């Protein structure tokens, strides 16, 4: 899949993720995880609709390619419809995990077993020069915030707003 041309295509794709078990091996779907992530960001960044939408779509490519490439693939899928900032946030949520493992000694202990497994596939901790490059990237602080929300969004059975709650926000971001 190369990208979404319409909001209906994107919403249909997200809705289908409800039937896809999460990589976490827990009793929730990929859609559940993404809804939880978006909701976490709604709570922590209520005025940043693009960040919330990035949380909703951050793992959209889990089903279309190798896990180590999902952030880059996902960014490419959402960029045509949701724009450069959302795509950058999606793309940077994996480097943000690697960054946090490098700069925050406690962070690794907060990762789920699957996140630890994928960390190795994604390159592990960063070198000092890579940390500096990350810190100079546009939207870096928001990328780190997305990553932390991603880590908190793994609770089976958690009650969060449904996909329909996010459609007006998707529409607003897509219209920009």
pLDDT digits (tens, 9 = 90+) for 7-35: 999 999 999 988 777 665 557 789 999 99
Side-chain-facing half-sphere of 93: CA atoms under 13 Å: 34
Q: What is this structure's pTM?
A: 0.93
Range of the domain at 134: 7-174
Percentage of the chain lying above the pLDDT 90 cut: 74
Number of structural domains found in the chain: 1
169 in a structural domain? yes
12 within some domain: yes
Tell whether 2 is covered by a domain: no
Partner residues linked to 29 by β-bridges:
21
**pLDDT score for 112:** 84
Q: What is the CATH number of the domain that holds 54?
A: 1.10.3210.10
Q: List, for residues 43-97, the tens digit of each pLDDT value.
A: 999 999 999 999 999 999 988 888 889 999 999 999 999 999 999 999 999 999 9
Tell me how far the alpha carbon of residue 42 is from its chain's centroid: 14
- Label residues 63-90 b or e (16+ Cβ within 10 Å = b): eeeebeebbebbbbbbbebbbebbbbbb
Which token pair is 159? 């009650």
Considering the domain boundaries, does residue 1 fall inside one? no
**pLDDT of 26:** 59
164 in any annotated domain:
yes
Supply the mean pLDDT for the chain.
92
Among the ranges 8-12, 107-111, 155-159, which has the highest mean pLDDT value?
8-12
């Amino acid at each position: 899949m190369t990208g979404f041309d319409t909001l209906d295509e994107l919403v249909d794709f997200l809705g289908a993720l409800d039937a896809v078990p999460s990589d976490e091996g827990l009793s929730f779907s990929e859609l559940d995880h993404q809804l939880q992530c978006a909701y976490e960001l709604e709570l922590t960044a209520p005025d940043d609709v693009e960040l919330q939408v990035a949380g909703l779509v951050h793992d959209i490519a889990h089903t279309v390619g190798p896990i180590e490439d999902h952030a880059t693939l996902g960014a490419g899928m959402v960029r045509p419809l949701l724009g450069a900032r959302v795509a950058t946030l999606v793309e940077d949520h994996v480097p943000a995990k690697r960054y946090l493992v490098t700069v925050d000694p406690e962070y690794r202990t907060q990762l789920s077993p699957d996140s630890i497994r994928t960390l190795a596939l994604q390159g592990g901790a960063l070198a000092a020069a890579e940390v500096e490059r990350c810190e100079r990237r546009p939207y870096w602080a928001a990328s780190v915030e997305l990553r932390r929300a991603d880590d908190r969004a793994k609770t089976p059975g958690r009650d969060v707003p449904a996909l329909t709650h996010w459609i007006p926000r998707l529409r607003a971001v897509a219209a920009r």
